[in-house]
């Protein structure tokens, strides 16, 4: 088969089988950059919960679900259900604030998710749900003026 437009296709020449592959010269050999990236990667989970990127949050949520599976002896089906509920809550942005999730930066793990409730069903399954934040209603004081002009009724013609 010919290559299009008359270009020449290069093929690899097989050398002796015991040779190590040649290292590229000058490519990927910047130790300062590699060191910088490694330090930033190691420190990624040390940030507060509300500063973690979405992928890092998902990773911590998976670790939390595994810890809950061990702690509560959840079945695989219940674990998947919990994982789905928590990930859906993250998508709905219910877990974005630092008050919703108790995250230990030193241990790099989630300690508690506020509003996460477990229900044990009659057949022994443990289901979980996350209570949405209830929007509180605020009441404002009405400015009541006690002017005498405001309380006087208009004259009635008889």
* Residues 27-67: tens digit of each pLDDT: 567 888 888 777 777 788 888 898 888 999 999 999 999 99
Q: Per-residue pLDDT for 69 more than 90? A: yes
Q: Model confidence at 83, in pLDDT bands (50, 70, 90)? A: very high
- Report the predicted TM-score, pTM, of the whole model to 2 decimal places: 0.61
Question: Within 10 A of 80 (CB to CB), how many other CB atoms are there?
Answer: 12
Q: What is the pLDDT of residue 111?
A: 93
Q: Per-residue pLDDT for 15 more than 60? A: no
Distant-in-sequence, close-in-space partners of 117: CB < 8 Å, separation ≥ 6: 128, 129, 130, 131
In contact, 129 and 122? CB cutoff 8 Å: no
Q: What is the mean pLDDT of residues 5-9?
A: 65
Q: What is the pLDDT of residue 41?
A: 72
More confident residue, 134 or 23: 134
Q: What is the pLDDT of residue 3?
A: 54
């Amino acid at each position: 088969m010919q290559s299009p437009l008359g270009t020449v296709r290069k093929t690899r020449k097989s050398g002796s089988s015991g040779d190590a592959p040649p290292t590229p010269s000058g490519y990927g050999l910047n130790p300062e950059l590699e060191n910088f990236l490694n330090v930033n990667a190691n420190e990624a989970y040390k940030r507060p919960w509300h500063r973690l990127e979405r992928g890092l949050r998902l990773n911590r949520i998976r670790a939390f679900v595994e810890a809950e599976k061990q702690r509560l002896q959840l079945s695989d089906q219940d674990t998947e259900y919990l994982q789905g509920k928590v990930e859906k809550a993250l998508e709905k942005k219910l877990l974005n604030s630092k008050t919703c999730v108790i995250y230990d930066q030193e241990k790099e793990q989630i300690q508690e998710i506020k509003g996460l409730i477990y229900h044990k069903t009659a057949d022994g399954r443990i289901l979980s749900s996350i209570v949405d934040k209830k929007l509180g209603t605020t009441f404002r004081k009405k400015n009541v003026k006690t002017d005498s002009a405001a309380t006087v009724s208009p004259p009635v013609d008889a």
